[in-house]
Copies of this chain bind each other. A is one copy, B any other.
Amino acid sequence: MPLEPKTPAPTVAVEDYAKAIYALSHDGRDAVATTALAERLDVTPASASAMVKRLDEMGLARHAPYHGVELTDRGLQLALEVIRHHRLLELYLAESLGVPWDRVHDEAEVLEHVLSEELEELIAVKLGDPERDPHGDPIPSRDLEIVELPTDTLASLEPGARGRFVRISDSDPHMLRYLAERGIAPGADFEIVDKQPFGGPSFARFGDAVHVLGGELASRMRVEVER
């Protein structure tokens, strides 16, 4: 029987490009600009352009020259697979090994490319097939379905509004540590007590304590509003 063309295992860089395209198109299906990709991955546009061409040849993306890239089905699968690895690892490291939540991201960023399917499965089972990572990001299911719920930012709420803090970017350790020190984590209910205009801080009550959340921070905290 003739050997199949046998796709070589994707490299770390290829996986990172797939993830980046997914993140920038926000569901992997919209076209992403080369420049945006280059900026996110901290390479020159020329490098991103070349790499995108390779992803296309590999069947992971469709590249319409001068009009952006989007992931193919296979590319989307790859991105979601790596994201599943990443988020499962983050949660696992936090829960089982006690790694502080502001540091799980960097560890997962490396391990995600190396985790075997067998370990992925064992971890998922051990964690009880979790739906969210420590930062509130949804974890793609075993069959790579992912549900991205639309959210508001805490900064957009006016005094009197109540809601639940559900999600925050995992990439800024300082913000995460700041929140951790105050015991604020995704899942926490709050009420807006006061708010200053023009990017000023929001004052939010979590439990008994009122916290001051700077405009920058408040605009990165994603919330579900209670209606």
Where the two chains meet, the residues of A that have a C-beta atom closer than 8 Å to any C-beta of B are: 93, 96-99, 103, 107, 110-111, 114, 116, 118-119, 122-123, 126
Complex CA gap A118/B118 in Å reads: 24
Pick from B97, B118, B126: contact of A119, CB below 8 A: B97
Return chain B residues, CB-CB under 8 Å to A96: 96
Return chain B residues, CB-CB under 8 Å to A97: 119, 122-123, 126
Complex CA gap A126/B93 in Å reads: 12
Complex CA gap A93/B98 in Å reads: 16
Least CB distance, A117 to chain B, in whole angstroms: 11
Return chain B residues, CB-CB under 8 Å to A111: 111, 114
- Least CB separation from A122: chain B residue: B97
Return chain B residues, CB-CB under 8 Å to A118: 99, 103, 107
4 nearest interchain CB pairs? Answer: A97-B122, A114-B114, A110-B114, A107-B116
Complex CA gap A103/B208 in Å reads: 50
Least CB distance, A88 to chain B, in whole angstroms: 12
> Can you name 10 extra interface pairs (CB under 8 A) apart from A99-B119, A107-B116, A114-B114?
A93-B119, A96-B96, A97-B119, A97-B123, A98-B122, A99-B118, A103-B118, A110-B114, A110-B116, A111-B114
Least CB distance, A177 to chain B, in whole angstroms: 15
Least CB distance, A100 to chain B, in whole angstroms: 10
Is B119 in contact with A107, judged by CB distance below 8 angstroms? yes
